[in-house]
Amino acid sequence: MIINTLLILPFTVHFGLDGSYYTKDPAPKGSQFVRSQPIQVPAIPVDELKEVTENFGNKAFLGEGSYSRVYYGVLKSGKAAALKKLDASKQPEQEFLSQVSMVSMLKHENVVELLGYSVDGNLRVLAYEFATMGSLHDILHGADSLFHRGSVNSIANSTTNHDCEFEEP
């Protein structure tokens, strides 16, 4: 039984109840088709993202990466989010949505969860759960991290002053 049909030019993709998909139309010679499963997170309206970040303003700005800027906002769902505004890309929209589909299926206690996404022309935003302890880079290299030179020295000193027991494999 077909529950959903998605038109991806030049293909029509049909999704079944079990999450499977298939196409009826043959691929034209030389064309590429990006297969994707349904996206597991909601699309977030651009207007909501602009509202919660004050139009991606300085007050909400958290930091900048090699291909994005990150902003803080509380979504209408009530969840705090790190909103990753990707730099303009020439990547086709369907290819981007296929990648969003893959990331939306990642569920692990050690990985921040994708809460939603937004696509409006060249504007592409990914909303991740807000990591209250900061990024991995901040934790490893920041002044307040465990790996700050003074902290490492105090940890090393405290372990040398106490008996440590190790189990042999």
The distance of Cα 98 from the centroid of its chain, to the nearest Å, equals 13
Digit-coded pLDDT (tens) for 90-121 = 788 888 899 999 999 999 888 899 999 999 98
Task: From 94, 109, 105, 108, select the one nearest 41 (Cα to Cα).
Answer: 105
Question: According to the annotation, is 90 in a ligand binding site?
Answer: no
In a domain, 140, yes or no: yes
Same domain, 19 and 47: no
Same domain, 9 and 56: no
Question: What's the mean per-residue pLDDT of the chain?
Answer: 74
> What's the DSSP call for residue 25?
S
Same domain, 45 and 112: yes
Q: Tell me the C-alpha distance between 30 and 26, whole Å.
A: 12
Domain residue limits at 14: 1-26
> What's the DSSP call for residue 59?
G
Total domains in the fold of the chain: 2
In a domain, 34, yes or no: no
Q: What is the CATH number of the domain that holds 109?
A: 3.30.200.20
Q: Tell me the C-alpha distance between 40 and 58, whole Å.
A: 31
Same domain, 21 and 48: no
Digit-coded pLDDT (tens) for 135-163 = 777 778 775 544 444 444 444 444 444 44
Digit-coded pLDDT (tens) for 28-69 = 555 555 556 899 999 999 999 999 999 999 999 999 888 899
